[in-house]
A = this chain, B = another copy of it.
Amino acid sequence: MSFKITILGSSGAVPAYGRHPTAQLVEIQNRYFLVDCGEAAQMQLMRLQANFHRINHIFISHLHGDHYLGLMGLIFTMHLQRRINELHIYSHRGLDEIITAHLRYSRSAPNFRIVFHHLEKGLKQIIYEDDALTVETIPLSHKIRCSGFLFKEKTKPRRIDKSKLPQGLLIQQVAGLKNGHDIRDESGAILYSNESLTLPPRKSRSYAYCSDTIFDEGLVDQLRSIDLLYHEATFLTDEESKAKDTKHSTAKQAAQIARLAAVDRLLLGHFSARYKDLAPILEEAKSIFHNTELAIEGEEFVIQD
């Protein structure tokens, strides 16, 4: 079952060297989420031939332009391409006013309903939930209200061990096995115990998106042992004071968070326009946390079952 992050943009505030502002497409079990939506995100989705009409939920971390300016273009295109499904947008306060102003002056009433969900500053809240996963906010410390997002699969059903399955079971009995029940006779006595016919569920995977943020050890608890951590790495360590002033992080700091939280993999992005070559950023992080990769546009990061 899919769990895949596709990088649409990896630049910091100023796009450079062909790198686009931040945006990611997150696909989990055939649900499609957009995480931040920097300028030209719609063109990046088109370039990657992603069907963006399947995106029903867009999570915006904060209202700095490089994280949401692609949203209006995407909305207009969805409208022109006759989208009808509701579009849910999660952001800190203000985006509804901005979007409404754009729509008012273009005299465009979208064919579809836009549902705004306001994020609360400084809280860890489950803002999305379905039968397979939850999305929880991660409070980030940046220059303005800012939240990261933690995607977590729910506990999965146990897996039937086909090699051990007796003949002639009813569909309801098999479904019961997946949900952890035993198979019993009419009197209620156990015919087959659940453990004897099933294997443990596949692991529940998790992805955390942390952009933009100052180095903050307070994040560690919420990120502990997740499978993939995206953490911004705007600067190298020689710009650490600049990072602090602008409430961003260095590659080393991102790696320190990954190490402290004992995550499985680290993904770096939000690269400053001062860095044409990103190899030093990767190298700096790897010296602290080896299992690190760069968020290169067009690349997909899969979390295996």
A: residues with CB less than 8 A from B are 13-16, 18, 20-21, 39-40, 42-43, 46-47, 63-66, 69-70, 72-73, 76-77, 80-81, 92-95, 97-98, 101-102, 104-108, 143-144
Task: Give Cα distance in the complex from A104 to B39, angstroms.
Answer: 18
Query: Given A63-B105, A65-B102, A144-B106, A46–B77 Cβ distance below 8 Å?
Result: no
User: Inside 8 A of A94's CB, which chain B residues have their CB?
Assistant: 101, 104-105
CB distance from A119 to the nearest CB of B (A): 13
Ranked nearest first, the 3 interchain pairs of A and B with the lowest CB-CB distance are: A94-B105, A40-B40, A63-B105
User: Inside 8 A of A107's CB, which chain B residues have their CB?
Assistant: 143-144
Of B20, B43, B144, which is within 8 A of A15 by CB?
B43
Give the number of copies in the complex.
2
Query: Given A15-B43, A105-B95, A107-B143, A72–B73 Cβ distance below 8 Å?
Result: no
Residue of B nearest to A81 (CB): B14
Task: Give Cα distance in the complex from A80 to B21, angstroms.
Answer: 14
User: Inside 8 A of A47's CB, which chain B residues have their CB?
Assistant: 18
CB distance from A140 to the nearest CB of B (A): 15
CB distance from A213 to the nearest CB of B (A): 16
CB distance from A76 to the nearest CB of B (A): 4
Query: Given A40-B39, A43-B20, A73–B77 Cβ distance below 8 Å?
Result: no
Of B14, B39, B40, which is within 8 A of A80 by CB?
B14
Whether B72 pairs with A69 at a CB distance below 8 angstroms is yes
Residue of B nearest to A63 (CB): B105
Task: Give Cα distance in the complex from A15 to B64, angstroms.
Answer: 24
Of B15, B73, B98, which is within 8 A of A98 by CB?
B98
